[in-house]
Amino acid sequence: MRFQVADRVPVPEHVPPELVHDFDFLDPPGASDDVQLAWKRLHDEAPDIFWTPRNGGHWIATRGEDIREIQTNHRRFSQRVMTIPASAQVFRILPANADPPEHDGYRRIIMPAFLPKAIARLEDGIRAQARELVEQIAPSGSCEFIDDFARKLPIIAFLKVVDLPLDDREMLVSLADTIMHGADRKRAEEAQAGMLAYMTRWIEERRAHPGNDLISTVVHARIGDRPLSSEEILSLVRLILFGGLDTLTSLMGFIWRFLATHPDHCSELARHPELRRNAVEELIRRHGVVNTARYITEDCVYKGVAFRSGDMIQIPNSLFGLDERITPDPLTVDFHRPHPQHVAFGNGPHTCPGALLARREIAISLDAWLDLIPEFGLAPGTRPELHSGASNNGILRLDLLWNTASV
Ligand code: HEM
């Protein structure tokens, strides 16, 4: 559910007036046209690090150099709270909310499932599923890309990582959708309870009958000489499920929207599969999805800005890729750009473990899609639905159209 607390609050005394800029991350001007561009305007309109009185009042760091520093300095910028406002954090989410060194133990448990060898073993299955989805969609000449493709593939990949039945796919897509986007609080809570019951059932099943999958690994793991508590197990499984859903769905939505509106880029990718690896990085750089945040642990001064212990600071990962101090002409997508630089998957010890899987899912989807649907555009009279949120830039609807003669 989206959190709505955008009213202004009084600016605290330690924040000087020249560092105050009114920015509501839930509704930046222009977000419905190009949400990343809406954030990018901060580079021209606000100080590099500023305080906004919206959403409980918090700092925002807009430049790549500062985002990188704040992502990796856990002593000063802790992950124990990552929501804005801080009061919106209801669960302790592991491993994300644990700082090093406590974080190391959790990370060691889940990492083997995301290593290149483990992902390589999943690839044929994901490729077959992606192909099947596109084959179902292609003959009709149109689709709503988010529901018909981008929400389905990440769930399929998650089910493969944890070795759960693919038949549960539709039910999980619907629960996840209600939890993350449902406007009705009661239905969202029921969906939460449904998801919890589903995960608990499989945790108990794998406790009794361990397999070679990530839930079994987590259930039977030890940190030092102790087993994990039920809360720790559930928390790890929950993030592995949710960490890769909305993020990947939205990123794919932004990429397909870009290709639908840039026919020359689309045709270049369709004709030159060898460009796709670099193109994926460049498209990720231009279309960042995550707006993460940190809790400031001590009074300190950084680049002349005085922070107070307990302040929250937002570090929109997408702004790193769009910073012209790092990438020249950053709004232009150029598949030939050498080494596109971004921090879409974070930095340091908390770097997204699912990054390789996410990259492979995008590349596999591009292969399957461009093979059968090499040209496509936005359906006339429709408008993609974009939004900016507390943790994600998202795209909720994308209507596409193509000529079935080429299918
Ligand atoms: C496009 C897709 C994805 C994006 C953009 C993304 C982005 C991120 C980012 C930025 C972080 C670090 C958060 C921070 O620094 O505050 C993170 C952490 C994490 N992600 Fe992803 N992610 C994606 C896909 C996935 C997938 C597919 C999975 C698992 C199947 C996953 C699981 C996780 C987990 C478990 C963490 C916590 C890691 C830790 O705290 O050590 N993510 N992700």
Q: Determine the atom of ligand 1 nearest the C-alpha atom of 346.
A: 10
What's the gap in Å between 246 CA and the centre of ligand 1?
11
What's the gap in Å between 344 CA and the centre of ligand 1?
9
What's the gap in Å between 117 CA and the centre of ligand 1?
19
Q: Is the pLDDT of residue 246 over 90?
A: no
What's the gap in Å between 372 CA and the centre of ligand 1?
30
Which residues line ligand 1 at a C-beta cut-off of 6 Å?
A: 71, 82, 95-96, 107, 158, 161, 239-240, 243-244, 247-248, 251, 289-290, 292, 317, 344-346, 350, 352-354, 357-358
Q: Is the pLDDT of residue 158 over 70?
A: yes
Predicted confidence band of residue 406 (pLDDT cuts 50, 70, 90)? low
Query: Which residue, judged by its Cα, is nearest atom 40 of ligand 1?
Result: 96
What's the gap in Å between 352 CA and the centre of ligand 1?
4
Query: Which residue, judged by its Cα, is nearest atom 43 of ligand 1?
Result: 352
Q: Determine the atom of ligand 1 nearest the C-alpha atom of 251.
A: 1
Task: Convert the pLDDT of each residue in 56-78 to its tens digit.
Answer: 999 999 999 999 999 999 999 99
Task: Convert the pLDDT of each residue in 97-111 to its tens digit.
Answer: 999 999 999 999 999
Q: Determine the atom of ligand 1 nearest the C-alpha atom of 79.
A: 16
| Whole-angstrom distance, CA of residue 383 vs CA of residue 147 | 15
Probe target for ligand 1 pocket from 153, 232, 294, 352, with the most ligand atoms within 8 Å of CB:
352
Query: Which residue, judged by its Cα, is nearest atom 41 of ligand 1?
Result: 350
Query: Which residue, judged by its Cα, is nearest atom 36 of ligand 1?
Result: 352
Q: What is the mean pLDDT of the chain?
A: 93
What's the gap in Å between 249 CA and the centre of ligand 1?
13
**31: phi then psi, degrees, rounded to nearest 5:** -65, -30
Query: Which residue, judged by its Cα, is nearest atom 37 of ligand 1?
Result: 96
What's the gap in Å between 326 CA and the centre of ligand 1?
23
pLDDT of residue 125: 93
What's the gap in Å between 50 CA and the centre of ligand 1?
26
Q: Determine the atom of ligand 1 nearest the C-alpha atom of 362.
A: 1
Q: Is the pLDDT of residue 375 over 60?
A: yes
What's the gap in Å between 79 CA and the centre of ligand 1?
13
Q: Determine the atom of ligand 1 nearest the C-alpha atom of 110.
A: 35
Across the range 19-48, mean pLDDT stands at 95
Task: Convert the pLDDT of each residue in 248-259 to its tens digit.
Answer: 999 999 999 999
- pLDDT > 90 fraction of the chain, expressed in percent and rounded: 83
What's the gap in Å between 280 CA and the centre of ligand 1?
17
pLDDT of residue 403: 93
Predicted confidence band of residue 6 (pLDDT cuts 50, 70, 90)? low
> Where do the domains of the chain lie, and which CATH numbers do they carry?
30-406 (1.10.630.10)
Q: Determine the atom of ligand 1 nearest the C-alpha atom of 98.
A: 40
What's the gap in Å between 355 CA and the centre of ligand 1?
7
Task: Convert the pLDDT of each residue in 262-293 to its tens digit.
Answer: 999 999 999 999 999 999 999 999 999 998 99
> Which of 252, 388, 385, 241 minimizes the C-alpha distance to 314?
388
